Amino acid sequence: MASGQPARENRTIRIVWRRWVLIAGLGLALAVSDPAVSPSPTPSQTFSVGTHGFSGGFGGGAKPSAVSKSPGRIDPTHSDESARDESGFDQPKPKEAKPSETEHSEVAKQLSIINFTDPDSFTVLVNKERPLNPVNYAPTDLEVVGTTELRAEAAAQLQKLLDAAKANGTPLRTQSGYRSYSTQQGTYAKWVAQYGSAHAQKFSARPGYSEHQTGLAVDLIPATGACQKLSRCVADTPAGSWLLDNAGSFGFILRYEKDTTDITGYGYEPWHFRYVGLDAAQDYLDGDYHSFEDYFLAHDIAHPVAQ
Ligand SMILES: [Zn+2]
């Protein structure tokens, strides 16, 4: 889809998603107490994403701790809370809380608007295990912003962000935005020649595996003062600090946070931001997620794996 997803529909997703988490939690509570009840989907279905090419973590496969740490997940240890009243005593479990087939398919239909696979989706997930498909994908709606190009909606939102940063007295500038498949081929080959492929992969993406190829990722650095470079010192500057606090309001998320290398495959990059859309960014912040991989694991029930 070349244009943005309608905001109202995305708000509906959030509402339906929260409702679904509640329903799924109740369903899970029933399953724990009554093996004959089988809520759909089960947690194993929810988190089985192997056919999508992403196992949920890097350097050792799926990490259960990463799956359970974020709010908004189906958490068996808390799934029976809604079956208690304020006195803390168990109440009869509401059997009718199990989602009907109709309700489930309606939820899945709504969630399918968040699409992690379509390269034209603002929520496409690209990482070291999930290349773009096709691998030489190129967006068709690129527009100039700053010194680079991004897809039209992302470019418009980035311009607003840059204007706001300037108005705040903490101006930022673009270092790198869209990079084509062939540009990334050259960049990656240069690093491999210099450092070897094993080391190069730690900080550079193979062509087809870079978020910059989506036209939705941008590297931002301070336009004045200290640390006008792609370095972790960006986070310690007034501009970098403002960016970390405000990017979400413009639909961008910090893609590679501290201490998420096992999940994202990359070290901390306080300069690399990814446009996911205004509503998805708000949903991401509301859910207190710390990697887009975690967000994917929590939301991809729209495409349950065929068993
Ligand atoms: Zn970057």
Mean pLDDT by 10 residues, the chain (307 residues): 42 45 40 35 33 51 36 31 34 42 44 79 94 97 98 98 98 97 94 94 91 98 98 98 98 97 95 96 94 89 43
Question: Could you identify the residue written with the tokens 């972790």?
Answer: 232
- CA dist 86 to 83, 91, 186, 212, 279, Å? 10, 10, 62, 50, 33
Residue type at position 63:
K
- CA dist 261 to 1, 57, 58, 248, 256, Å? 30, 9, 8, 21, 8
Question: Could you identify the residue written with the tokens 């640390």?
Answer: 227
How close is the Cα of 217 to the center of ligand 1, in Å? 6
Is 269 tagged catalytic? yes
Contact 139, 122 (CB under 8 A): no
Question: What fold does the segment set 142-275 form as a domain?
Answer: Muramoyl-pentapeptide Carboxypeptidase; domain 2 (3.30.1380)
How many residues can be counted in the chain?
307
Among residues 149, 153, 269, 293, the one annotated as catalytic is: 269
The whole-angstrom separation of Cα 193 and Cα 199 is 11
The whole-angstrom separation of Cα 134 and Cα 188 is 19
Q: What is the CA radius of gyration of the chain?
A: 21
How close is the Cα of 115 to the center of ligand 1, in Å? 22
| Sign of torsion over alpha carbons 292, 296, 251, 23 | negative
Residues of the chain with CATH 3.30.1380.10: 142-275
How close is the Cα of 157 to the center of ligand 1, in Å? 17
CA atoms within 13 A on the CB side of 35: 0
The whole-angstrom separation of Cα 177 and Cα 180 is 10
Q: What is the model's pLDDT at position 55?
A: 56
The whole-angstrom separation of Cα 200 and Cα 112 is 35
Close Cβ partners of 221 (under 8 Å, ≥ 6 residues apart): 172, 173, 175, 227, 228, 229, 230, 234, 239, 240, 271
How close is the Cα of 212 to the center of ligand 1, in Å? 6
